[in-house]
């Protein structure tokens, strides 16, 4: 089952996501990159019996409007703890304003 905020925003991520995926160019950027304007999708995958969410990919948009893959400092987030709190923990370590990047509105979970 998939849960995400993007369906509410766009009706479907598929059309929007395909457009973003085709538009991605260049090297991935770190989420600490000052050019990163926002995270447009953080895709988390898991099996029901697996104890963690795996990061499938993270897409972002730079200040110039171009779309990029975004490197995050984590590849998994344990289930049983709030996802947002875990992301905030990582963000504090890297001095990233996670909410300002819109990452919480861009999370899509598929299990």
What pLDDT score does 10 carry?
Answer: 47
Token code pair at residue 53: 């969410």
Percent of the chain with pLDDT over 90: 71
**pLDDT tens per residue across span 11-57:** 555 566 666 666 677 789 999 999 999 999 999 999 989 999 999 99
* Whole-number Å distance between alpha carbons of 18 and 34: 25
Give the other-Cβ count within 10 Å of 17's Cβ.
18
């Amino acid at each position: 089952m998939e849960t995400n905020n993007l369906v509410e925003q766009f009706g479907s991520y598929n059309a929007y996501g395909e457009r973003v995926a085709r538009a991605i160019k260049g090297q991935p950027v770190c989420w600490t990159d000052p050019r990163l304007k926002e995270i447009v999708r953080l895709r988390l995958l898991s099996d029901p019996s697996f104890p963690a969410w795996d990061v499938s990919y993270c897409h972002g948009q730079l200040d110039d409007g171009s779309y990029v893959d975004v490197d995050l400092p984590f590849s998994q987030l344990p289930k049983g703890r709030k996802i947002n709190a875990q992301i905030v923990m990582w963000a504090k370590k890297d001095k990233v304003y996670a909410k300002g990047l819109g990452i919480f509105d861009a999370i899509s979970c598929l299990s």
